[in-house]
């Protein structure tokens, strides 16, 4: 599998008047940092921004400039430009997660860096993002761009369950596999899964939930994915588990599903739906449930206060990791449910700290196996992009600028109380 990344830093040159101008512009912004300490190192020079060193700030991070052209990328490309410059090795950081945390705590400064001169690029980035809308054809293409990177690549850092979603750690020292299995059991117990249930799952992944629920609870599951590689490996894993009689694996868009089910599960799939299609998604979910049915979605969310601006922007994740994707806010979910369904919310639980732990475990494993990943045909730039992606998300969850929640919705005739646990 060859994975070459077409990151194109703005600078195009490693020094000169443009880099000098960009450096001055960037340093003026960094002088506005008010929380934490950022030390920018240029050769023998050290520039301190934010809290003075003698204050021993909780967050104290060193950023090493390897190429002056990175100033151009950051000053004129904002947070996306900074990510691109990291991908190409133009700057280094001793504590990448803490750097993200520092900027989240100085969000007002980051917002200014993502405005100003970055408006030159923003219209084009937004246009390209809008071309990746999650129509049925577009969704298949967008999903393939991420999930069809190669099953072997994902297997290098995921645990044996192949769950590519936040775990729930029963103990601080629990393994990633324990956290994934605890999350799956938590979902089943919150929904009160029984052997007589027929569950529909939107977003199979590599079959982790379907296999666990069928094996541990004896229920039937119909599950669908539109990723070709996920479908192939999930099919193999279901067969190897001897659960072909319990699990029906489909390869079709959620909009094409039909039938009536006791329960519905969708684990971190709504991020690939696109905000324009939330009403369609929840209307379809409601139509698949029996009159007493329930559904659980695990969703990565952005704060309600930032959602409207977020819809207008294109970030590093959307440009390089998940094309066409976007995070919902809890209010955006509730609006779509209220307007298009007869569902009612019966349970909501945020467990963002567990996602930070999950991402840390993934990143450590990913970087430990970087050489074996490169041996599969992936470039150094790809490795750095994924390191940045995993640490970028970890920092966001640590600071709660993004969250992850279980939301359970019930049809009108559902009377059973939710067993709340994590």
CATH value at residue 25: 3.30.1050
Print the domain residue range for 103: 17-120
> CA–CA separation, 10 vs 89, rounded Å?
14
Of the two residues 7 and 108, the one the predictor is more confident about is 108
Query: Is 341 a member of any domain?
Result: yes
Query: Is 195 a member of any domain?
Result: yes
The answer to whether residues 298 and 235 touch, using CB atoms and an 8 Å cutoff, is: no
Q: Are residues 391 and 330 in the same domain?
A: yes
Predicted local confidence at residue 12, as pLDDT: 43
The answer to whether residues 167 and 183 touch, using CB atoms and an 8 Å cutoff, is: yes
CATH code of residue 148: 3.40.50.150
Q: Are residues 177 and 102 in the same domain?
A: no
Asked whether residue 62 carries a pLDDT value surpassing 90, the answer given is: yes
pLDDT tens digits for 156-213?
A: 999 999 999 999 999 999 999 999 999 999 999 999 999 999 999 999 999 999 999 9
Mean pLDDT of 23-31: 93
What the block records as the tokens of 235 is 């099919």
Q: Are residues 147 and 102 in the same domain?
A: no
Q: Are residues 70 and 141 in the same domain?
A: no
Query: Is 4 a member of any domain?
Result: no
CB-based contacts of 88, cutoff 8 Å, min separation 6 = 7, 9, 381, 384
Which letter, b or e, does each residue of 217-251 get, where b requires 16 or more Cβ atoms within 10 Å of its Cβ? bebbbbbbbbbebbbebbbebbeebebeebbebbb
Predicted local confidence at residue 76, as pLDDT: 85
Q: Are residues 106 and 201 in the same domain?
A: no
How sure is the predictor about 144, in pLDDT bands with cuts at 50, 70 and 90?
A: low
Which letter, b or e, does each residue of 361-378 get, where b requires 16 or more Cβ atoms within 10 Å of its Cβ? bbbeebbebbeebeeeeb
Mean pLDDT of 265-291: 96
Q: Are residues 109 and 24 in the same domain?
A: yes
Query: Is 421 a member of any domain?
Result: no
Predicted local confidence at residue 386, as pLDDT: 96
Q: Are residues 371 and 397 in the same domain?
A: yes
Query: Is 143 a member of any domain?
Result: yes
Q: Are residues 112 and 213 in the same domain?
A: no
Residue 325, φ and ψ in degrees, nearest 5 = -85, 170
Predicted local confidence at residue 145, as pLDDT: 54
Largest Cα–Cα separation, the chain: 71
| Domain finish residue from 120, 151, 172 | 120
How sure is the predictor about 151, in pLDDT bands with cuts at 50, 70 and 90?
A: very high
Query: Is 33 a member of any domain?
Result: yes
Residue of 148, 89, 93 whose CA lies nearest to 384: 89
| Domain finish residue from 69, 88, 120 | 120
The answer to whether residues 203 and 266 touch, using CB atoms and an 8 Å cutoff, is: yes
Map residue 50 onto helix, strand or coil: strand
Q: Are residues 243 and 271 in the same domain?
A: yes
Q: Are residues 273 and 339 in the same domain?
A: yes
Predicted local confidence at residue 325, as pLDDT: 84
- Dihedral sign for Cα 23, 24, 25, 29, please: positive
Asked whether residue 120 carries a pLDDT value surpassing 50, the answer given is: no
Asked whether residue 301 carries a pLDDT value surpassing 70, the answer given is: yes
Asked whether residue 135 carries a pLDDT value surpassing 80, the answer given is: no
Query: Is 125 a member of any domain?
Result: no
Query: Is 5 a member of any domain?
Result: no
Place of tokens 């919310």: 345
Identify the DSSP state of 249.
Answer: E
| Domain finish residue from 59, 89, 120 | 120
DSSP secondary structure string for all residues of 255-322 = GG--S-EEEEEEES-GGGT-GGGHHHHHHHHHHTEEEEEEEEEEEEEE-HHHHHHHHH---HIIIIIS
Q: Are residues 148 and 102 in the same domain?
A: no
pLDDT tens digits for 354-370?
A: 999 999 999 999 999 99
Q: How many residues does the chain have?
A: 422
Q: Which amino acids are annotated catalytic?
A: 393
Name the pairing type of β-strands 261-267 and 289-302: parallel
Predicted local confidence at residue 205, as pLDDT: 97
Predicted local confidence at residue 147, as pLDDT: 61
How sure is the predictor about 142, in pLDDT bands with cuts at 50, 70 and 90?
A: low
Q: Are residues 82 and 150 in the same domain?
A: no
* Domains: count for the chain: 2
pLDDT tens digits for 353-409?
A: 999 999 999 999 999 999 999 999 999 999 999 999 999 999 999 999 999 999 999
């Amino acid at each position: 599998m060859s994975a070459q990344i077409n990151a194109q830093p703005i600078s195009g040159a490693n020094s000169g008047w443009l880099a000098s101008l960009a450096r001055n512009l960037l340093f003026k912004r960094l002088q506005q940092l008010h929380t934490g300490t950022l030390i920018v190192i240029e050769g023998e020079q050290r520039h301190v921004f934010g809290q003075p060193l003698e204050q021993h700030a909780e967050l104290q991070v060193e950023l090493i400039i390897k190429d002056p052209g990175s100033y151009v990328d950051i000053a004129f490309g904002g947070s996306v430009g900074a990510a691109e410059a990291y991908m190409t090795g133009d700057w280094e950081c001793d504590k990448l997660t803490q750097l993200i945390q520092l900027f989240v705590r100085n969000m007002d400064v980051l917002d200014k860096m993502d405005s100003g001169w970055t408006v030159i690029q923003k219209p084009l980035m937004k246009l390209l993002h809008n071309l990746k809308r999650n129509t049925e054809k577009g969704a298949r293409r967008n999903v393939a761009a991420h999930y069809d990177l190669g099953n072997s690549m994902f297997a290098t850092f995921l645990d044996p369950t192949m769950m590519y979603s936040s775990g729930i750690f029963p103990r601080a020292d629990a393994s990633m596999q324990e956290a994934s299995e605890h999350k799956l059991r938590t979902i089943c117990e919150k929904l009160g899964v029984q052997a007589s249930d027929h569950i529909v799952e939107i977003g199979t992944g590599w079959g982790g939930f379907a296999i666990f629920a069928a094996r541990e609870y004896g229920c039937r599951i119909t599950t669908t994915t539109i990723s070709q590689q996920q479908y192939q490996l999930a099919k193999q894993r279901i067969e190897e588990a001897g659960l072909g009689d319990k699990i029906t694996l489909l390869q079709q868009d959620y909009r094409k599903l039909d039938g009536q089910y006791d329960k519905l599960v969708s684990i971190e799939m709504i991020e690939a739906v696109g905000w324009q299609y939330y009403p369609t998604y929840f209307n379809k979910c409601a139509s698949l449930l029996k009159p007493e049915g329930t559904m659980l979605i695990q969703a990565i969310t952005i704060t309600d206060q930032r959602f409207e601006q977020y819809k207008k922007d294109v970030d590093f994740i959307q440009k390089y990791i998940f094309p066409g994707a976007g995070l919902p806010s809890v209010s955006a979910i509730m609006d779509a449910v209220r307007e298009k369904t007869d569902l009612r919310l019966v349970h909501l639980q945020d467990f963002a700290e567990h996602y930070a732990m999950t991402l840390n475990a993934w990143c450590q494993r990913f970087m430990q196996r970087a050489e074996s990943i490169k041996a599969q045909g992936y470039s150094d730039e790809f490795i750095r992009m994924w390191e940045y992606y995993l640490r970028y998300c970890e920092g966001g969850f640590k600071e709660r600028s993004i969250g992850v929640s279980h939301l359970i919705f019930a049809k009108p005739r559902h009377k059973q109380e939710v067993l709340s646990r994590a």
